[in-house]
Structure 1
Amino acid sequence: MSRNSFAVIDEEKFKVFHWQTIVTTGLGVFCDGYDLSSIGIVLPLVLGTFGIAKIGGFESAMLAASALVGAAVGALLFGLLGQNGRKRFYGLDVLLMGVMAIAQAFAPDLTWLIVLRFILGIGIGADYVLSPTIMAEHANRANRGRVIGIGFGVMWPLGALFAGLLNLLLAGLGVSHDLQWRIVLAAGAVPAFTVLYLRRRMPETARYLARLAADPQAASEVIRRISGQSIAAPLQDTRSFGEVFSKHARMIFSAALLWLVFDIVIYSGILFGPSLIAKSLGLGPIEFSLLMSILFGLPAVLFYALVGLDGFGRKPVQVWGFVAAAIMLVVFAVLKQYVAAIPLLGMIVFGLYTVAINGPAAVSGAGILGVELSPTRIRTVGQSITVVGGRIGASISAFLFPLFFTRLGEVGVISLLAGVALLGAILTQILVPETAGVSLETLNDDNLPVTAAAE
């Protein structure tokens, strides 16, 4: 094993430090899932408080989209800031989310709530960039997929699940609608403030310290903390930002495109799941979504995170996930009348779709490709671009697909989404390399001149 590179980190066994990294980064991602999902859960209650009867109107669209727009802004901003230190800004993201979560509870009108959620989104976008970057740079080579898969792919839907469960609990306790939505939105501050201390104690990544901060001694100390070994640390990457970015732009924008496609396809679950199957089961849309998440979604993403990403590879998990999701969408389009009339059949179809789409959710939806296909010199900027790609996909889903739904009908839109899923499989196969089990430096042809060996 080479002692003059990051090979010591790459070859280190999965240990307590890696679990600490997962918990510290993952709790912030839990907040992301909670905060982004909670508004959809309480949207009718919010609009009712402010005297707005139409859920599908301009006001509800602005309220739903404000955090998404903020996330795009936050990703770009902290992508640039992250070039000056990962840890330096780590904690500011969850602090922003925590303060804004509480502020939502005191929003006097809808305009204020939209503004607060936009600022909240900036913190979410920051976390979308910083957390996967830190996970990847601290992780060992063999388990990098597991670290990001659990820390992002599992923790995000877990946060969304808790938002739904809290809403059901408050409704069951008979809390007034006005107080109910304020508590649900404000509760996002609890995990945010809980993890703030842990994030400030997390070490800066050795890759950043050596390659950007030009501090090989500090980098060696971090490597020693992780592995217990003293090694030579790589020198600063003196190439210009433009030189490195131009070389890797194709991979970065490919990762962004794949996240965009995934976010378009995931919207299909909203169209044919709660709208038809839930009703036939006598459940509300929120209750149905929670049930499907518990029975199918979380077990699937746990399997992909613990076994699939590093065992099968990123590309097979994503390609076959897209293909299987497309098949389930076609099955729904063909058997629509039976799916609506036979609850058990509907649950099976939607359950299999949920299992399938969580494959791409654990890859592109977890931000793995952006951090793995960007060299250390530009990693946070590369990741910020992929995050923006995902936010564009989410915006397309939120604004255009309701229009398509009116023009094409339910079966037409589901068929269109099946085609988009197949496109995602094809693009994954041809645009990006397999990254499982390969060091970040090898993936990005990152030249690593070194200092003298550490004492």
Structure 2
Amino acid sequence: MTTESAPAGGEATAFDDVPLNRFHLRITALTFCANYSDGYELGIISIALPVIAGQLGFGTVWEGLLGASALIGIFLGSVVVGWAADKIGRQRLYTYNFVLIALASAAEFFVTGPTQLFVLRLLIGIGIGADYALGPTLVAEFVPRRYRGGLLASLTVLWTVGYVVAFFLGNWMVALGDDAWRWLLATSSLPAVAVVLLRLGVPESPRWLLARGRVEQARAVVRRLGGDEAALQSLARIARAAADRPKARYRDLFGRAHWRHTAFGVVFYNAQVVPYFAIYTFLPLVLLKMGVGEEDTTSDGLLNLFLLAGSLAGLWFVAKATRRGLTIWSFAVLMATLAPMALWPSAPTALLFPLFLAFTFTMSAAVNLDQVYPAELFPTDLRSSGVGLLNGLSRIGSAIGTFLLPLSLDHVGFSPTMLILTLVLAGGLAASVAWAPETKNLALD
């Protein structure tokens, strides 16, 4: 690996190797909220939209816009707030971005038309996107490197939890009356308010403070977190090294030192989420093409079981495997299990469905890396910008893939569509082989 493509790491310090404590668990738990909210928000709108459309009297164009509004907001929030957090700090934005989510969610109760709802859903997405940039950045910069991968990977599991809760709660609430959808949408304000209150008092990242030359404030944070003299001396060395470096600019993400990490992150992230969102958004249609009928509840149950099992197994894989190795091998297995649907679509269901179960398990495990890798690819003065950029672009890729899948199935057929998705995975594999750095146990600078 050349110097140009090496991960942006620093000297290991006593701060990197402190014992795991209650604050590390707290900052991780408070970061669960964005992932949970993303899954919950997308889950409740999919259930509420048919009812809302009937009551407010709008057509499929508005349904599509309302379904995509939060994804558009997540893109804007991730990119813009990620950049801002590297400039003005993480702590204030991390503490108060959920105020926006709480207010916009509560205001959904009073909407009278699709334009109002679109704006509110856009604002909610901006708040969630902001937390996608800020949360993993803070977790990566606070927690000991030994536990960083596992704690970051656990964030992904909460998306599924939020979506499942929304499914069951939403289906129960919309049957309660004509205005039940208003109460359903407004429910997301309650956890948002709790998050704002619980985040009060979270300190600024000492790594960001050092990057800005604010050494004494960084030392105060480390003392507050139980750091000893060795940790303080380590921070002083980092501060001296940081002072000798020119300040990073957003465009440096695309410059000579970092373009490989940026390019890898964009391709890797999108190569995972485009097939994931496309296939599982229209899962009944995909299963029907494989010969699994809508009445086959056993197959649906197995798929949900494999999704959950893969998500939990992914935590173990992230803890035990190397980042580069897990990325490369997961793309290889995903290609091997999806390609038969493209090359032999008329194969017996007894062959295709077990392969699809293996695909589901592997995909669910692999996406745990989505919260891990981005936070480890960039130095401190570009970390939030880089994480925000990769998260934001992944949501654009997800929206495009989800929009195009049913059109592709209708116009080019099942086999070519699966071939296209297999080629997307092949692109992820090629980028990983060429550019994926090894960042496990990396000492962040």
Matches within 5 A, 1:150-169: 150=154, 152-169=155-172
The equivalent of 1:414 in structure 2 is: 418
The equivalent of 1:226 in structure 2 is: 225
Which of the residues 74, 80, 85 maps onto 1:82?
85
Which of the residues 100, 107, 113 maps onto 1:109?
113
Q: Quick check: 2:101–2:128 contact (8 Å CA) kept in 1? A: yes
C-alpha deviation, 1:130, in angstroms:
0.3
Would the alpha carbon gap of residues 288 and 162 (structure 1) be closer, same or farther in structure 2, given more than 3 Å must change? farther
Q: Which amino acid aligns with 1:156?
A: W
The equivalent of 1:200 in structure 2 is: 200
Q: Quick check: 2:95–2:200 contact (8 Å CA) kept in 1? A: yes
C-alpha deviation, 1:346, in angstroms:
7.2
Q: Quick check: 2:314–2:366 contact (8 Å CA) kept in 1? A: no
Which of the residues 228, 239, 255 maps onto 2:246?
239
C-alpha deviation, 1:229, in angstroms:
0.9
C-alpha deviation, 1:353, in angstroms:
2.0
Which of the residues 26, 32, 36 maps onto 1:30?
36
Q: Which structure has more RCO (C-alpha within 8 Å, separation ≥ 6)?
A: 2
Q: Deviations over 1:266-320 (max 9, x none)?
A: 1342366322538725279xx987x467512233222212x21131022232222
TM-score, length basis structure 2: 0.86
Would the alpha carbon gap of residues 411 and 424 (structure 1) be closer, same or farther in structure 2, given more than 3 Å must change? same
Which of the residues 108, 119, 122 maps onto 2:123?
119
The alignment partner of 1:280 has SS state of coil
**1:280 is the counterpart of 2:286:** no
**1:183 is the counterpart of 2:183:** yes
The alignment partner of 1:405 has SS state of helix
The alignment partner of 1:427 has SS state of helix
Would the alpha carbon gap of residues 112 and 299 (structure 1) be closer, same or farther in structure 2, given more than 3 Å must change? same
Would the alpha carbon gap of residues 120 and 271 (structure 1) be closer, same or farther in structure 2, given more than 3 Å must change? closer
The equivalent of 2:132 in structure 1 is: 128
Q: Which amino acid aligns with 1:240?
A: K
Q: Which amino acid aligns with 2:293?
A: S
C-alpha deviation, 1:154, in angstroms:
1.2
C-alpha deviation, 1:122, in angstroms:
0.8
C-alpha deviation, 1:360, in angstroms:
3.1
Q: Quick check: 1:266–1:357 contact (8 Å CA) kept in 2? A: yes
Q: Quick check: 2:408–2:417 contact (8 Å CA) kept in 1? A: yes
Would the alpha carbon gap of residues 50 and 23 (structure 1) be closer, same or farther in structure 2, given more than 3 Å must change? same
Structure 2 runs not aligned, ≥5 long: 1-9
CA distance in 2, matches of 1:273, 1:140: 39
Which of the residues 10, 20, 31 maps onto 1:14?
20
CA distance in 2, matches of 1:347, 1:38: 29
Which of the residues 58, 63, 80 maps onto 2:61?
58
Would the alpha carbon gap of residues 107 and 271 (structure 1) be closer, same or farther in structure 2, given more than 3 Å must change? closer
**1:303 is the counterpart of 2:321:** no
CA distance in 1, matches of 2:200, 2:16: 24
Would the alpha carbon gap of residues 116 and 311 (structure 1) be closer, same or farther in structure 2, given more than 3 Å must change? same
Decide which moves more: 293-302 or 192-201: 293-302
Q: Which amino acid aligns with 1:145?
A: G
Q: Quick check: 1:28–1:195 contact (8 Å CA) kept in 2? A: no
CA distance in 2, matches of 1:181, 1:321: 39
CA distance in 2, matches of 1:429, 1:395: 26
C-alpha deviation, 1:162, in angstroms:
1.1
CA distance in 2, matches of 1:288, 1:421: 25
The equivalent of 1:380 in structure 2 is: 384
Q: Which amino acid aligns with 1:34?
A: Y
CA distance in 2, matches of 1:88, 1:156: 24
C-alpha deviation, 1:189, in angstroms:
1.8
The equivalent of 1:71 in structure 2 is: 74
Q: Which amino acid aligns with 1:105?
A: F
Q: Deviations over 1:206-245 (max 9, x none)?
A: 1011112x22122122223334312222325451324854
CA distance in 2, matches of 1:275, 1:220: 56
The equivalent of 2:268 in structure 1 is: 258
Q: Quick check: 2:105–2:124 contact (8 Å CA) kept in 1? A: yes
C-alpha deviation, 1:85, in angstroms:
0.9
CA distance in 1, matches of 2:52, 2:331: 35
Matches within 5 A, 1:92-107: 92-107=96-111
C-alpha deviation, 1:126, in angstroms:
0.3
Which of the residues 434, 440, 443 maps onto 1:439?
443
Would the alpha carbon gap of residues 182 and 294 (structure 1) be closer, same or farther in structure 2, given more than 3 Å must change? farther
Matches within 5 A, 1:261-410: 261-270=271-280, 273-277=283-287, 280-282=293-295, 291=301, 294-305=304-315, 307-333=316-342, 334-335=344-345, 338-339=348-349, 348-364=354-370, 366=371, 368-410=372-414
C-alpha deviation, 1:138, in angstroms:
0.7
Identity %: 27
Would the alpha carbon gap of residues 29 and 410 (structure 1) be closer, same or farther in structure 2, given more than 3 Å must change? same
CA distance in 2, matches of 1:25, 1:332: 38
Would the alpha carbon gap of residues 283 and 18 (structure 1) be closer, same or farther in structure 2, given more than 3 Å must change? farther
Kindly report the root-mean-square deviation, in angstroms, between the aligned alpha carbons of the 2 structures.
Answer: 2.7
Q: Quick check: 1:315–1:434 contact (8 Å CA) kept in 2? A: yes
Would the alpha carbon gap of residues 169 and 80 (structure 1) be closer, same or farther in structure 2, given more than 3 Å must change? same
Would the alpha carbon gap of residues 350 and 201 (structure 1) be closer, same or farther in structure 2, given more than 3 Å must change? farther
The alignment partner of 2:66 has SS state of helix
The alignment partner of 1:241 has SS state of coil
Would the alpha carbon gap of residues 273 and 32 (structure 1) be closer, same or farther in structure 2, given more than 3 Å must change? closer
CA distance in 2, matches of 1:184, 1:434: 43
Q: Which amino acid aligns with 2:339?
A: V
